[in-house]
Amino acid sequence: DYNRTAERISVLKSQGFPTGLAALMLHHAVDHPLRIFLIGNSATMLGNDGHLVAQSSSSSEKVQTVPCTRWEAITSTITWHAEMAAWCQTPMAVRLLHDPGIS
């Protein structure tokens, strides 16, 4: 549906994607609809050598890296991809390599 596609492109453009890239992403979402992420969730993920990309406090147009744990970095990345999957209306699955120990 043209109106729905135009709306989805508009949403992606509001996230900073150029029109052509937004249209290409939606095209590939149709061709390859499922996104699968396999996450290595070992104890080493608690290491403090990760980095997040964040908006600079001095300018809304600049970004900076912020130190964090590896787990915080991967969590931020997966959250971004989940939001992207929602914008493109494509399913997404996240699987952990190790049992997180939740009972």
- Of the ranges 55-59, 68-72, 83-87, which is most confident? 68-72
- Return contacts of 16-24, CB within 8 angstroms, 24+ apart: none
What is this structure's pTM? 0.75
Q: What is the pLDDT of residue 59?
A: 74
User: What's the rounded Cα separation, in Å, for the pair 29 and 12?
Assistant: 13
Q: What is the pLDDT of residues 17-69, one digit of tens each?
A: 999 999 998 888 888 889 999 998 888 888 899 999 888 777 777 888 999 99
Q: What is the pLDDT of residue 53?
A: 87
Does residue 74 register a pLDDT over 90?
yes
Sheet strands (E) in the chain: 35-39, 50-55, 63-68, 92-96
Grouping H, G, I as helix, E, B as strand and the rest as coil, residue 14 is: helix
Q: How many residues does the chain have?
A: 103
User: What's the rounded Cα separation, in Å, for the pair 90 and 44?
Assistant: 31
Between 1-5, 61-65, 87-91, the lowest mean confidence (pLDDT) is in 1-5
Does residue 103 register a pLDDT over 70?
no
